A and B are shown apart, each in its own frame.
Chain A
Amino acid sequence: MDDLRTKYLEAIAGAGDESALEDLRLQAVGKKGEVSLKMRELGKMTPEERQVMGPKLNALKDEINSALSAKKSALADAALDERLRTEWLDVTLPSRPRRQGTIHPVSQVTEEVTTIFADMGFAVAEGPQVEDDWYNFDALNIPAEHPTRTEMDTFYMHKAEGDDRPPHVLRTHTSPVQIRAMQEQGAPIRVIAPGRVYRADYDQTHTPMFHQIEGLAIDRDISMANLKWCLEEFCRAFFEVDKVELRFRASHFPFTEPSAEVDLRCSWEGGTLKVGEGDDWMEILGSGMVHPHVLRSGGIDPDQWQGFAFGIGIDRLAMLKYGIPDLRAFFDSDLRWLRHYGFASLDVPSLAGGLSR
């Protein structure tokens, strides 16, 4: 018995592959294997002998079986190790290319601004870019021959022969949307209106098309002090700082009265803008209390209602916040620029997660 044990355990330990193991299994514990044959002999034994030999043979069978299975997995492991050794890859090779899309800064900033004002209860209004002369000018208290009209470098649309109306214009500001929104919704009203505007001007700092966002809030008792608070809150949220300081400076816009240019306290140390600190003031927007004439144009009674309006340059906000130097490059679609200044598709501004990353 011990000979049998030694013989098979040694043979199993020395087996080189799975087929050799299988041969050994058949020789030892297969139907006609040595151990199996011995177990058949048990029947011929005396009960006393059987009691001794039975358990021994069973133990031997178990031992051989576990040796076989242990060796089998050892062989499999060795084979796997060998395979893995040959499966070496140069993982420093570049990954499979994947295109990276981007969102344009104008779109991103428009969404940022919308997010902030939506929280203050402002909806988003829209209006046509080819605009009626009345909506762009007269309704906003800019009569014909008003110097503001010539200063605005207006683009005019071609007029068909026999058309007696004043020529349509490309809207020079988003302010006509104020009028359309008031006509459609009446008072009280809170809207912002982002969009493209046009002026015939092209140099280092001007492009014939740029983007503005208009704000309008009309109610029974909205005052210029509310306007200031609104803009302070906006600037604080937009520039993502703890505090901002705004300075209102008297100015003139035909569609507001009183009117104010709004400056933001900032510093320009090392060419980087820091909002809320420093000794510089930067002009960021124009604003004021909506002129009674404008309210009337929008079908709202100025004796009952009052409120404010403001207009901000979106491109300029983007330039200031993200340090983009040249306005003209916004509209050039240079891939290098789009990739450098663009935003990831999932960088959706939110008040909970922050406007920028």
Chain B
Amino acid sequence: MKFTMSWLRDHLDTTASVDEIAETLTDLGLEVEEVINPLDTLKGFTVGFVKEAEKHPDADRLRVCKVETDAGLQQIICGAPNARAGIRVVVAKPGMYVPGIDTTIQVGKIRGIESHGMMCSEREMELSDEHDGIIELPGEPAIGTEFADWLAEHQPEKVDPVIEIAITPNRQDALGIRGIARDLAARGLGTLKPYAVEPVAGSFESPIKVTIADDLKDKACPHFTGRVIRGVKNGPSPAWLQARLKAIGLRPISALVDITNFFTFDQNRPLHVFDADIVKGDLSVRWVDAPTEYEGLDDKTYTVEPGMMGIYDDAGLESIGGCLGGAHTGCTEDTVNVFLESAYWDPVTIAATGRRLKLNSDAKYRFERGVDPEFTLPGLEAATKMILEICGGEASEIVQDGAPVAYDRAYKLDTDRVASLVGMDIPAETQRKTLEDLGFTLKGDVAHPPSWRSDVKGEADLVEEVARIASLTKLEGRPMPRPQAGVPKPVLTVTQQREQAARRTAAALGYNECVTYSFIDEASARLFGGGEDATRLENPISSEMSHMRPALLPGLLQAAARNQARGFADMALFEIGTAFHGGEPGEQHLLLSGLLVGHTGPRDVHGARRPVDVFDVKADAEAVLAAIGAPAKVQILRGAQGWWHPGRHGKICLGPKKVLGVFGELHPKVLQEMDVKGPAMAFTIWPAEVPVKRSTGATRAALQISDLQAVERDFAFVVDADVEALTLVNAAAGADKALIEDVRVFDEFIGGALGEGKKSLAITVRLQPTDQTLTEKDIEAIGAKIVEKVTKATGGTLRS
């Protein structure tokens, strides 16, 4: 919402400066977005007098002028056709910035002759588009006078500061300049000027009648007023009106249209004018009954549909009520008889219509936020008066249907509430005065909001108004004690603690944390088991972001592909966040995924570099699981989803259905589809799947250590190549659960002399006696038992 200072002064008697007003508006909740004060940009331009003007010896169109300025007599070269001796001009001296040409003036030579400044046109100072010549000032203003001061005195409309404010959706009243003035006056920054609407008596019966269909009258269009004004002359509007509209960014069109726009901004009262000679018969307001092609005043064609409100004459649809007038009955320069409309439209219906038609007009914007229902008729009268003044003509009697919607509501003003809710001490009398200044009627301690404040809907709103006008800037902070005195308790839930621990562990393992978008393209989603309709966005911002992600890996793979394109081949990325397994609230789950691509590091002199492999991600997955309290004893099962390499992955499980995580190599096809140069290793952890420890406190179990010497013995077995190491290890460990402390695989050898389909696995078994030192005989006995168990479990043999 834009307005000018002079327009504001129509309603507000104030001596406040532009800066004060701007600051106050922001504080009142009418946030100033921009102040354009031409006086600021014109500072330093002064009046000069051209004493001599000779033709430039080397250029026909240039003149060498001697100009009297506040800096003495200066030589200025000028190319304007009207540059001549004896005129008073506006001079920009060297060093000054000229906004219209975006240039700082320098002393320079033009075709060999020095020039010490510039004489300006209106366009060069961004005052208008006028550029036929330099400005010639009438009268005899003193040389050196600030041009801005001269303008302020002689052409104030040209230096009228423009203020643009953002309007929050609740402040319908501030969509009219009068409402803004009312707020400022309530704050004490001036007084609100009286505004009285004098009815204009009609001298004949309106030839056009209006009716509202019954099914609109209760809500959608409760009140419609209008009248014919005949014999108008619709030329350009007067200069003052054009200047105002231009200043706030509107294009003057014709007197009739400009007058309706004036009331839109002055009073938040949109109006419409029909060419009465084109309207056929009477006007009726009713629901659109079938899709209809409609050409609007904005020269666009719309398909108007049922659920929208139309204004019809005998020829058909002439206006989308409250949104946009029709081209067919629009007023032109030739319009002589006009029908002026002032109606009240339901905000909800207007908002829906605007959204469906993708239509945004000043009228729609205002009706959807709400206009003053009591001002429908006064608005019509005020506009009639202005039309008669500007365009002449003769007004008919008023025709109307319906009545203003009831707005009267009342809320108890509890003056203590400001102190208890806001924490400001404002005297009761001040509170009452504030409300009255804003147009509220107080009957005892009951406040009735004015018709232009449909947003006020409760006691809390009264408090808000009082606090807002008193200024929240004055609010002083007041300590809020902790709910319980003393050292605060931890607040994070188990899952939240796990999330933090998992994140920091992954980073400690050398992974860089990413935050990727929660939405992803359908093809990538499908590769990871998603992409179904339930997780599809109805209005995605692009096809790259069409579905909620089913997993974190597709986002990480895309990130890897981007980094590879930037020349980074080796990387370790991870993300912890939600993935979505459905489209209902809550159909989301937390997971952590890590991705290793390329090599373990850059080429190095130590030969440490090698391609990343499955056992890297296995170790990392185990480390993260350990950090969030997963038990050390797990099963490694196969058969995870299809995006894993079928033979090179494992599920970390507590039983076949309790999967804590998966690690492995990603399927080459998936990498190819996602444009990642592999191989790529990954792991995923589901933190919520880790059982919560049934802890009884911080105490650890007592440490059991033996003073007796532990013994290690190595065994190598030849087994079939597909026998899993864990089977062998578990079998060996089972030989004597009390004595065997640890079984570790330390070598794997495949093929060679062992023959096709065979491998050798070497284990070291650590025996920890607890009551007496082991004899060679004891050890041999356990060794034999280990061999027996392993042979039985794996079908292998002890390697000789």
Contact = CB atoms under 8 A, between A and B. Distances in A.
Interface of A: 93-94, 96-104, 106-107, 111, 114, 118-124, 126, 128-132, 135, 144-148, 150-151, 155-160, 167-168, 170, 188, 190, 196, 198, 200-202, 208-209, 217, 219, 221-226, 228-232, 246-252, 254, 257-261, 289, 291-292, 306, 330-336, 338-339, 342, 344-346, 348
Interface stretch (B124-132, B167-175, B242-250): B167-175
Given A96-B604, A102-B512, A224-B422, A129 B588 contact: yes
Contacts of B478: 223, 225-226, 228-229
A228 B537 contact: no
B475 A101 contact: no
B562 A130 contact: no
Q: When A and B form their complex, which 6 residue pairs have the shortest distance between CB atoms, in order from nearest?
A: A225-B423, A99-B510, A250-B29, A229-B477, A333-B559, A252-B168
Contact of A100 (B31, B510, B536, B585): B510
A157 B348 CA distance: 23
7 contacts: A101-B572, A111-B500, A121-B488, A226-B423, A228-B475, A333-B516, A338-B514
Contacts of B512: 101-102, 335, 338-339, 342
B566 A334 contact: yes
B363 interface: no
A122 B600 CA distance: 42
Contacts of A146: 169
B606 interface: yes
A101 B509 contact: yes
A94 B601 CA distance: 13
A132 B585 contact: yes
A143 to B, nearest CB: 8
A229 B480 CA distance: 7
Contacts of B538: 155-159, 167
A333 B676 CA distance: 15
B508 interface: yes
B503 A333 contact: no
A130 B510 contact: no
A335 B563 contact: yes
Given A99-B572, A158-B534, A225 B424 contact: yes
B700 to A, nearest CB: 23
Interface centre among A334, A336, A344 (most CB of B within 10 A): A334
Contact of B477 (A196, A217, A225): A225
A224 B488 CA distance: 23
A181 B107 CA distance: 70
A54 to B, nearest CB: 48
B588 to A, nearest CB: 6
Contacts of B509: 99, 101
Given A157-B538, A200-B539, A124 B475 contact: no
A130 B422 contact: no
Given A97-B602, A225-B422, A124 B169 contact: no
A121 B482 contact: yes
A248 B609 CA distance: 57
A230 B510 contact: no
A15 to B, nearest CB: 42
Given A96-B604, A99-B601, A102-B507, A198 B488 contact: no
Contacts of A292: 458, 460
Given A97-B608, A330-B515, A157 B468 contact: no
Interface stretch (B225-233, B254-262, B490-498, B686-694): B490-498
Contact of A118 (B491, B504, B580): B491
B352 interface: yes
A198 B421 CA distance: 32
B518 A101 contact: no
B514 A96 contact: no
Interface residues of B, number: 103
Nearest to B417: A306
Interface centre among A147, A289, A330 (most CB of B within 10 A): A147
Given A158-B534, A333-B562, A334-B562, A217 B604 contact: no
Contacts of B536: 157-158
Given A168-B585, A229-B478, A338-B513, A260 B472 contact: yes
A114 B488 CA distance: 13
A96 B608 contact: yes
Contacts of B343: none
A156 to B, nearest CB: 4
B507 A249 contact: no
A251 B508 CA distance: 44
Interface in B312-359: 347-348, 351-352, 355
Contacts of B504: 103, 345-346, 348
A251 B507 contact: no
Contacts of A111: 500
Interface stretch (B98-106, B540-548, B706-714): B540-548
Contact of A156 (B26, B467, B539, B574): B539
A76 B771 CA distance: 45
A258 B422 contact: yes
Given A103-B513, A156-B538, A258-B468, A345 B508 contact: yes
Contacts of B31: 249, 251, 261
B421 A289 contact: yes
Nearest to A155: B537
B483 interface: yes
A155 B583 CA distance: 13
Contacts of B27: 249-250
A217 B478 CA distance: 14
A333 B171 contact: no
A70 to B, nearest CB: 39
